């Protein structure tokens, strides 16, 4: 039923529109059936009729105005017919069958009538038209109200409504207050430019103007009354702001929740401390003078906000002054010594040059707080000077870039020092520059029965461990000798190298007294070839269980057998995933001539060259054991008591540099796991000797080299990352792929195995185990190639004898960190024929094991 009504209504509407269209005629369209119809054309009204139409289709009239007073008429007719207007011939139907006439309006806007006739060639009258034309002088009619009530705080006002004979009307405003409004000229919609406020102005007047096409205008005065809305106070929130001290640019904003029923037009401060600050209308507070944290660290006052309704609200404001140190918050006098260490040592944390010799305390080599040979320790700060009797200068900038870290971290760790274990041939625990940093409760003496005790070597000739320990943590600012990389860390010593028992190693690496709290173990030892899983078995437990499950970090030297074609990947001590294998750099930032390469290397650090012809590493030595003159001289002549040496070198020296760096990193970020430390070491290492051909960029954008690992350890980068919202690595995932091969590989041949991997993890480490009965397994060069094409040479041919790959040998691959495991991997094995020995073997099996997350 309802549908039927709708249909009928729709039909009627269409009918009315059709009639209206015919009646009004549009504008200048054809009018073939237009007798007696009014045609509205722009600003004119034309009334015309055809009293003598014989046939509708022979006659066409087009009407259009060419200017304000002229109507143009186009007639259709027989070619050659004459056109008469009010009896006077005005034209002829042209060859196109058309004639154009221009008819003007009458004077004084009166109606003027035109009679138009067409006569054919024989003067027979064919058509007659009558036009009555008058000018449009009728203005639009405004129908909207002249008094409007609108609520305050709203911009909408009303919409002007007007009608006009010719339809189209435009709108505008006038009057003194019309500038407060905007009007849409087509729709007539009027809005306030700014929402009205009853409390400020309650009534507005303006003229609305409607203009038609003929420029006829209708004007109506409109009064707009603003309606009051009930009063609401502003809402503010108590606010705590932090302003940097010593800065007039410090700024904060009061939290304005609501302005009430109008805007906030005024904010003022009051209270005891308010005279030190100013506030703007929108709540921005600034200090009037520079604040000083040391004088007052916090201010309190009140802010009152007034809205247009005259309502106000006050809230408490607290300004906390941020301590911006002249240099560093942790090192007030900016002397490269943290405040707490200066206090601990009885130094003045606000005096950067206590002995007033022009050298800041943290770089001091003189006086009771100096380190006598600090300026020789180029690995800490390279001054570009000669540091030993080699006569060779170091290179400025080729150092650990560690000085800025010393503003905050030195291993002291709020009087809870980071503990670094040194497993070596012992440590001279009473050494003047070590004894204050010795942790005797976690030190082990293995001579005889393994037990907690003094790790001092039985023989004074055993100096290796003391040199290693000095690199890590010889005490700084004590008026003696040198300083360690982490000069306030603790050393847990051990003379395990003197006995080398498995049970002793388990004790120091895993189960010993206070083992859980030892953060790092440094191991500056190994062998050219080690195929003994015992090490890895202990390390696995240590990384799983110690440090409350975060794992101890084990740092090992890569080895010094490069001359013998040695490779770090030939030792199960250095090529397992639980350790950080460290290569050695010289002062030129290139790998040392002795430093083992290997695909298992993670990072490098300074180990120096041979001390007679190159800068080496300055450190402690068993007291009285160095030579300061003559033959065998290995310390400075100023080392009167023979307690130090400038001869330490090797990956044995590079390894404790890394151990010291990691002590600082773990002081900064104590929650890092052993995997995080490895990951940060790799991802932030500095690519030195960038032009060297062995660098390979993996698909994660990390550069790795068999000579450098990921490069020089970078303490600043590691600490920067781990202290800035670093998230520990997710739980470790692993999987392996094993395949029996049994393929004879001829000498002087290479083979590529494709290995399809479906599992996808982000790689941290890969073990590749190859079982081959080659009688001289060192003839093999073995490369692992990732799906993205990253090539890592795990091991190269060497002089090592025997079929050591028989039964399987496991190589480590460190160079694929952050690559995806999924895809096709390749293992390329090349069998070198050395000196025409023509030795070959069978590749029995391959196993790839991936570790990552």
Partner 1 sequence: MRIVLLILTLLVNLIADITIEQVHKNLALSIDVERKKLPQSVTKSLIIKDNGIKSVIEIPLNKKLRSSVASKKEGILVDFSDDFLDTQKFADEFNISLKEKLSIGYYIFENSSNLNDEKLIEEILLSNYQKNIKTIRPNWKMGVVGF
Minimum CB–partner distance for residue 546 and partner 1 (Å): 12
Between 328 and 625, CB nearer to partner 1 = 625
Residue 211 CB partners (closer than 8 Å, separation 6+): 140, 169, 170, 171, 172, 217, 218
Strand order of the β-sheet with 252-253 is: 252-253, 284-287, 277-279
Cα–Cα distance measured from residue 625 to residue 748, given in angstroms and rounded to the nearest whole number: 51
Give the helix/strand (H/E) hosting 502.
Answer: helix 502-506
Minimum CB–partner distance for residue 458 and partner 1 (Å): 15
Between 89 and 534, CB nearer to partner 1 = 534
Cα–Cα distance measured from residue 458 to residue 495, given in angstroms and rounded to the nearest whole number: 9
Between 141 and 853, CB nearer to partner 1 = 853
Q: Which one-letter DSSP state was computed for residue 195? A: -
What does 669-709 look like in DSSP terms, one character per residue?
-TT--HHHHHHHHHHH-B--STT-TT-EE-TTS-EEBTTTB
Between 209 and 800, CB nearer to partner 1 = 800
Minimum CB–partner distance for residue 629 and partner 1 (Å): 26
What are residue 818's DSSP bridge partners? none
Minimum CB–partner distance for residue 662 and partner 1 (Å): 18
Cα–Cα distance measured from residue 551 to residue 674, given in angstroms and rounded to the nearest whole number: 5
Cα–Cα distance measured from residue 620 to residue 635, given in angstroms and rounded to the nearest whole number: 10
Minimum CB–partner distance for residue 830 and partner 1 (Å): 6
Q: Is 3 exposed, middle or buried (0-12, 13-18, 19+ CB in 10 A)?
A: exposed
Minimum CB–partner distance for residue 605 and partner 1 (Å): 13
Angle at 78 between CA 72 and CA 84, to 5 degrees: 50
Between 36 and 789, CB nearer to partner 1 = 789
Between 607 and 815, CB nearer to partner 1 = 607
Between 294 and 739, CB nearer to partner 1 = 739
Minimum CB–partner distance for residue 761 and partner 1 (Å): 12
Buried b / exposed e along 153-184 (16+ C-beta atoms within 10 A):
beeebbebbbebbbeebbbbbebeebebbebe
Using alpha carbons, list the distances in angstroms from residue 306 to 195, 237, 283, 310, 656.
18, 14, 11, 6, 67
Between 331 and 425, CB nearer to partner 1 = 425
Between 170 and 833, CB nearer to partner 1 = 833
Q: What's the sign of the alpha-carbon dihedral 360, 363, 368, 372? A: negative
What are residue 73's DSSP bridge partners? 63, 101
Between 30 and 833, CB nearer to partner 1 = 833
Between 452 and 499, CB nearer to partner 1 = 499
Minimum CB–partner distance for residue 431 and partner 1 (Å): 18
Minimum CB–partner distance for residue 804 and partner 1 (Å): 8
Tokens describing residue 147: 């008094």
Minimum CB–partner distance for residue 653 and partner 1 (Å): 9
What does 240-275 look like in DSSP terms, one character per residue?
EEEEETT-TT--EE-EEEE-TTS-EEEEEEESGGGG
Minimum CB–partner distance for residue 581 and partner 1 (Å): 12
């Amino acid at each position: 039923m309802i549908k039927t009504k709708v249909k009928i209504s729709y039909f009627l509407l269409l009918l009315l529109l059709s009639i209206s269209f015919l009646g009004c005629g549009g504008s200048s369209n054809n009018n073939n059936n237009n007798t007696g119809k009014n045609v509205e054309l722009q600003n004119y009204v034309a009334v015309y009729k055809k009293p003598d139409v014989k046939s509708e289709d022979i006659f066409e009239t087009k009407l259009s105005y060419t200017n304000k007073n002229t109507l143009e008429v186009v007639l259709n007719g027989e070619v050659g017919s004459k056109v008469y207007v009010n009896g006077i011939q005005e034209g002829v139907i042209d060859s196109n069958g058309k004639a154009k006439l221009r008819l003007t309006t009458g004077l004084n806007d009166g109606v003027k009538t035109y009679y138009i006739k067409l006569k054919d060639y024989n003067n027979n009258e064919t058509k007659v038209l009558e036009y009555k034309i008058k000018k449009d002088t009728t203005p639009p009619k405004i129908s909207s109200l002249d008094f409007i009530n609108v609520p305050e705080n709203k911009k909408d006002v009303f919409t002007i409504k007007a009608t006009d004979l010719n339809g189209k009307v435009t709108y505008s405003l006038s009057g003194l207050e019309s500038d407060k409004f905007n009007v849409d000229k087509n729709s007539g919609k009027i809005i306030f430019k700014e929402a009205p406020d009853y409390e400020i102005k309650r009534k507005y007047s303006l003229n609305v103007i409607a203009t038609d096409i003929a420029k006829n205008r209708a004007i109506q005065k409109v009064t707009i009354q603003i309606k009051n809305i009930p009063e609401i106070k502003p809402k503010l929130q108590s606010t705590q702001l932090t302003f940097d001290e010593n800065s007039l640019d410090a700024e904060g904003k009061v939290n304005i929740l609501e302005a009430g029923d109008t805007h906030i037009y005024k904010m003022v401060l009051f209270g005891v401390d308010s005279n030190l600050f100013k506030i703007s209308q929108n709540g921005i507070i600034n200090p009037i003078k520079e604040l000083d944290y040391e004088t007052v660290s916090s201010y309190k006052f009140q802010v009152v906000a007034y809205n247009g309704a005259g309502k106000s609200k006050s809230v408490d404001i607290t300004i906390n002054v941020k301590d911006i140190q002249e240099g560093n918050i942790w090192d007030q006098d900016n002397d490269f010594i943290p405040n707490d260490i200066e206090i601990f040592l009885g130094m003045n944390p606000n005096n950067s040059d206590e002995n007033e010799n022009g050298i800041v305390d943290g770089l001091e080599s003189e006086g009771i707080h100096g380190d006598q040979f600090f300026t020789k320790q180029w690995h800490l700060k390279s001054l570009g000077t000669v540091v030993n009797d080699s006569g060779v200068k170091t290179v400025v900038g080729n150092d650990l870039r560690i000085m800025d870290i010393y503003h905050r971290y030195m291993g002291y760790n709020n009087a809870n020092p980071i503990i670094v274990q040194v497993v070596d041939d012992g440590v001279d625990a009473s050494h003047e520059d070590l004894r204050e940093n010795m942790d005797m409760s976690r030190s082990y003496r293995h001579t005889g029965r393994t037990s907690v005790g003094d790790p001092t070597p039985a023989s004074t000739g055993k100096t290796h461990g003391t040199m290693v320990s000095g690199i890590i943590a010889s005490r700084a600012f004590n008026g003696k000798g040198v300083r360690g990389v982490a000069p306030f860390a603790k050393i847990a010593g051990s003379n395990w190298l003197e006995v080398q028992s498995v049970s002793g190693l388990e004790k120091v690496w895993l189960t010993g007294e206070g083992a859980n709290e030892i953060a790092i173990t440094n191991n500056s030892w190994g062998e050219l070839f080690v195929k003994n899983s015992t090490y890895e078995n202990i390390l696995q437990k240590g990384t799983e269980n110690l440090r409350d499950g975060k794992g101890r970090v084990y740092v090992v030297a890569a080895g010094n057998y490069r001359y013998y074609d040695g490779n770090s990947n030939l030792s199960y001590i250095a090529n397992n995933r639980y350790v950080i294998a460290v290569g050695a750099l010289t002062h030129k930032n290139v790998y040392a001539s002795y430093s083992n390469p290997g695909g298992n290397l993670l990072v490098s650090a300074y180990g120096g060259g041979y001390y007679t012809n190159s800068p080496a590493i300055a450190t402690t030595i068993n007291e009285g054991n160095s030579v300061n003159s003559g033959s065998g001289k290995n310390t400075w002549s100023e080392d009167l008591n023979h307690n130090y040496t400038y001869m330490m070198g090797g990956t044995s020296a590079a390894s404790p540099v890394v151990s010291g760096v990691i002590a600082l990193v773990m002081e900064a970020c104590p929650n890092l796991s052993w995997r995080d430390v490895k990951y940060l070491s790799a991802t932030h290492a500095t690519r030195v000797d960038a032009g060297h051909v062995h660098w390979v960029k993996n698909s994660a954008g990390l550069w790795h080299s068999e000579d450098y690992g990921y490069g020089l350890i970078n303490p600043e980068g590691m600490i920067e990352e781990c202290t800035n919202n670093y998230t520990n690595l997710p739980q470790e995932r692993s999987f392996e792929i094993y395949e029996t091969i049994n393929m004879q590989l001829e000498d002087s041949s290479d083979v590529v195995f494709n290995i399809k991997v479906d599992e996808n993890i982000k790689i941290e480490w890969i073990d590749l185990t190859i079982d081959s009965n080659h009688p001289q397994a060192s003839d093999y060069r073995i490369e692992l190639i990732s799906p993205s094409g990253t090539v890592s040479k795990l091991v190269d041919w060497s002089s090592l004898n025997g079929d050591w790959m028989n039964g399987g040998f496991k190589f480590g691959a460190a160079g694929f960190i952050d690559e995806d495991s999924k895809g096709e991997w390749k293992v390329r094995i090349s069998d070198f024929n050395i000196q025409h020995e023509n030795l070959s073997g069978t590749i029995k099996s391959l196993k790839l094991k991936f570790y990552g997350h």
